[in-house]
């Protein structure tokens, strides 16, 4: 009991130094937590993907379309339950800064394949009835102040012209990982317009979304679909939704690796800060440790004393960083919600922060503890400061 009292008294003996060290550790833990949250957010879509959904696209590139005639053929494949399709629209709302994902989709089947989109029944019915209607995610609607019935105009980039839509439904995510910043409208509206303005682009889709009955047979179904169109003018690649999303993430793998590297640099900074504090503390208390030895304190007890002090400081800093992480993440999400629709601090990140606090406290105290344990009593008593 006396040893534990000494640990806490020593940890806060130099209040200014301890406070500055705790603050430095807290800021570093905050930075580490935000960096790890960025990485987990990057993979949030992958984690929320469905094992029963496949995506069929052009084998050359996603920007090349597929014929609408593939729809009926895909439906005939064994173990295929539902087939939907859509195209990336790429429209601009007022200015290019107002970026958000917008798709033309076969509405009824697309919603059937996405049960994670929670939509009030009357709104969904209104959307399905209105050919010019669209669905917006809750966060997207709040971002621009859209309400049911509002007319929204997108400037086409892939499909030139000004396209008018009416908001008929707002969806919210069933889970926190669901992106609530998306915009969906009827593919039929797009196609009917193209039949009049640009017939060469009509009756083509950007991708097919395939729902399978058994996720264990997803690979087999994908092979059958691709084999069906192997000798067609538009060869396909069919993959699970998870693989499809990982393909996009792989394009930014270098950025993710840099973020990971920076997060490890932050750990090194925390370690250096706490180690420097413990080195100064041990040097100042050399005489005290010599006195403790004369009183019969063992090397293990002195090690516990020094290590305990380092742990108290580093864990206090970690707790400060964890407390600051939540409001910082909220502010980050509000500032960059167009790019990070979901930016939630995971429990695993908090546990990792605490683990780093313990790791830093133990490692930073090893050398000072070794020096204190091995110092001769007579030599320690001769030292001043």
Structural domain boundaries of the chain? 2-44+252-382, 60-234
Q: Give the residue from 140, 129, 126, 124 showing the smallest Cα distance to 183.
A: 140
Radius of gyration of the chain (CA): 30
Q: Give the separation between CA 14 and CA 317, rounded to whole angstroms.
A: 16
What pLDDT, in 10s, does the model give residues 196-222? 888 888 999 999 999 998 888 888 999
pLDDT at 381 over 70: no
Provide the pLDDT for residue 223: 92
What pLDDT, in 10s, does the model give residues 94-134? 888 888 889 999 999 999 999 989 999 899 999 999 999 99
What percentage of the chain carries pLDDT values higher than 90?
36
Provide the pLDDT for residue 176: 75
Provide the pLDDT for residue 338: 59
Give the tokens for residue 124.
Answer: 């969904």
Provide the pLDDT for residue 44: 63
**pLDDT band for position 49 (cuts 50, 70, 90):** low
Provide the pLDDT for residue 97: 83
Q: Give the separation between CA 243 and CA 239, rounded to whole angstroms.
A: 6
**pLDDT band for position 62 (cuts 50, 70, 90):** confident
Q: Give the separation between CA 252 and CA 249, rounded to whole angstroms.
A: 5
Mean pLDDT computed over every residue of the chain: 85
189 contact partners, CB below 8 Å, separation of at least 6: 104, 131, 132
SS3 category, 178: coil
45 contact partners, CB below 8 Å, separation of at least 6: 177, 179, 245
pLDDT at 48 over 60: no
Provide the pLDDT for residue 87: 94
Provide the pLDDT for residue 236: 93
Give the tokens for residue 7.
Answer: 């640990």
Q: Give the residue from 47, 49, 65 showing the smallest Cα distance to 57.
A: 65
pTM of the predicted structure, to 2 decimals? 0.68
192 contact partners, CB below 8 Å, separation of at least 6: 131
Which H/E stretch holds residue 365?
Answer: helix 347-374
- Asked whether the beta carbons of 293 and 372 are under 8 A apart, the reply is no
- Asked whether the beta carbons of 164 and 132 are under 8 A apart, the reply is yes
379 contact partners, CB below 8 Å, separation of at least 6: 290
- CA 159 to chain CA centroid, Å, is 31
- Asked whether the beta carbons of 134 and 188 are under 8 A apart, the reply is no
């Amino acid at each position: 009991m006396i040893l534990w009292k000494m640990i806490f008294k020593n940890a806060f003996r130099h209040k200014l130094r301890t406070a500055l060290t705790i603050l430095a550790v807290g800021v570093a833990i905050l930075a580490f937590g935000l960096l790890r949250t960025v990485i987990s957010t990057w993979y949030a879509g992958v984690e929320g993907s469905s094992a029963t959904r496949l995506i069929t696209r052009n084998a050359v590139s996603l920007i090349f379309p597929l014929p609408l005639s593939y729809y009926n053929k895909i439906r005939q494949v064994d173990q295929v339950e539902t087939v939907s399709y859509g195209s990336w629209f790429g429209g601009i709302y007022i200015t290019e800064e107002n970026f958000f994902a917008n798709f033309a989709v076969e509405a009824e089947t697309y919603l059937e394949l996405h049960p994670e989109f929670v939509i009030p029944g009357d709104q969904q019915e209104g959307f399905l009835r209105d050919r010019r209607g669209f669905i917006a995610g809750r966060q997207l609607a709040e971002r621009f102040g859209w309400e049911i019935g509002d007319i929204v105009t997108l400037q086409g980039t892939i499909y030139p012209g000004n396209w008018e839509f009416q908001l008929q439904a707002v969806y919210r995510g069933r889970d926190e990982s669901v992106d609530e910043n998306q915009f969906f409208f009827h593919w039929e509206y797009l196609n009917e317009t193209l039949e009049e303005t640009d017939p060469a682009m009509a009756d083509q889709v950007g991708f097919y979304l395939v729902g399978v009955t058994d996720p264990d047979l997803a690979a087999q179904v994908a092979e059958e679909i691709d084999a069906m169109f192997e000798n067609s003018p538009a060869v396909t690649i069919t993959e699970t939704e998870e693989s499809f999303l990982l393909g996009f993430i792989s394009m930014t793998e270098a950025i993710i690796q840099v973020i990971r590297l920076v997060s490890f640099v932050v750990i090194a900074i925390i370690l250096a800060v706490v180690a420097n504090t413990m080195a100064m503390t041990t040097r100042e208390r050399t005489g005290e440790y010599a006195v403790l030895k004369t009183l019969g304190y063992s090397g293990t007890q002195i090690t516990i004393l020094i290590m305990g002090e380092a742990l108290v400081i580093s864990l206090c800093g970690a707790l400060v960083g964890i407390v600051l992480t939540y409001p910082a993440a909220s502010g980050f999400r509000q500032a960059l919600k167009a790019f990070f629709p979901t930016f939630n601090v995971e429990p695993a990140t908090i546990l990792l922060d605490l683990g780093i606090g313990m790791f830093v406290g133990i490692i930073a105290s090893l050398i000072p503890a070794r020096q204190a344990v091995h110092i001769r009593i007579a030599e320690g008593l001769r030292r001043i400061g």
